[in-house]
């Protein structure tokens, strides 16, 4: 952690379980909140990650930053990126987001979380979503997203509602970061679930 980044809190910290406070335009425009957004961006990039919500740096405000660069996608096969419906996403901020699922189609993929460090797991998410929010300047923002972008939005907005991806995971697919590339990196979610099977406890 450098002077320009913040510590990312981990599962077990109560701040990750609280519903965040929404901001009014005056609060959003304040020097402190604008500085916080800049620090969130820099912390996300340093991690690196494709999204970061304010609770992940210990602040219970309804703010998230998102960015998925082409650089992050290097080294992934074109077929895998296509299967994930993943393409570069420019940096942006969402404040007070309201999420709506579009259609009933659910998609399962492996997911990770900066606040559940060094673990990956299969999570089912809606394939398409619509989000209404404010940007960092308080201007209305309307987003229609599909595939990986929709997944990122759902993941970060979950954080703003006290939900972590491990709450939604198929628990038998949970893998350490070390074992993930060894056993599961080349597998689809369906293939991984077929291998680990299901058991009733």
**Residue 200 pLDDT class (50, 70, 90 cuts):** confident
For residue 198, tell me if it sits in a domain.
no
For residue 130, tell me if it sits in a domain.
yes
For residue 51, tell me if it sits in a domain.
yes
CB 60 within 8 A of CB 18: yes
Q: Reply yes or no on whether the pLDDT at 68 is more than 60.
A: yes
Q: What is the mean pLDDT of residues 2-19?
A: 92
Q: Is the dihedral of CA 47, 49, 52, 56 positive or negative?
A: negative
For residue 182, tell me if it sits in a domain.
no
Q: Is 10 helix (H, G, I), strand (E, B) or coil?
A: coil
pTM reported for the whole predicted model: 0.95
CB 57 within 8 A of CB 39: yes
- How much is the pLDDT for 144? 98
Q: What is the mean pLDDT of residues 115-122?
A: 97
pLDDT (tens digit, 9 = 90+) per residue, 140-153?
Answer: 999 999 999 999 99
Number of domains in the chain: 1
**Residue 154 pLDDT class (50, 70, 90 cuts):** very high
Domain that holds residue 81: 14-99+126-164
Q: How far, in Å, CA of 200 to CA of 2, rounded?
A: 45
For residue 9, tell me if it sits in a domain.
no
**Residue 201 pLDDT class (50, 70, 90 cuts):** confident
CATH number of domain containing 41: 3.90.45.10
* 136 has catalytic annotation: no
- How much is the pLDDT for 24? 96
For residue 25, tell me if it sits in a domain.
yes
Which residues 6+ apart lie within 8 Å of 104 measured at CB? none
Longest Cα separation, the chain: 52
pLDDT (tens digit, 9 = 90+) per residue, 36-57?
Answer: 999 999 999 999 999 999 999 9
Using a pLDDT cut of 90, give the percent of the chain over it.
93
For residue 58, tell me if it sits in a domain.
yes
- How much is the pLDDT for 3? 61
Catalytic residue among 71, 136, 156, 178: 156
For residue 189, tell me if it sits in a domain.
no
């Amino acid at each position: 952690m450098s002077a320009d980044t913040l510590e990312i809190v981990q599962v077990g910290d109560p701040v990750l379980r609280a519903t965040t406070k929404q901001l009014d335009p005056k609060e959003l425009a304040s020097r402190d909140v604008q500085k916080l957004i800049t620090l969130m961006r820099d912390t996300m990039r340093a991690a690196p990650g494709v999204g970061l919500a304010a609770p992940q740096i210990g602040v219970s405000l309804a703010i998230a930053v998102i960015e998925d660069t082409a650089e992050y996608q290097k080294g992934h096969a074109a077929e895998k990126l296509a299967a994930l419906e993943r393409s570069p996403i420019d940096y942006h901020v969402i404040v007070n987001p309201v999420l709506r699922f579009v259609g009933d189609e659910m998609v399962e993929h492996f997911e990770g979380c900066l606040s559940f460090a060094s673990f990956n797991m299969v999570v089912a998410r809606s394939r398409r979503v619509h989000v209404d929010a404010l940007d960092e300047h308080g201007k209305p923002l309307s987003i229609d997203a599909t595939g990986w972008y929709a997944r990122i939005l759902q993941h970060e907005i979950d954080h703003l509602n006290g939900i972590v991806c491990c709450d939604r995971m198929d628990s038998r697919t949970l893998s350490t970061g070390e074992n993930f590339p060894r056993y599961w990196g080349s597998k689809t979610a369906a293939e991984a679930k077929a291998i680990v099977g299901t058991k009733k406890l």
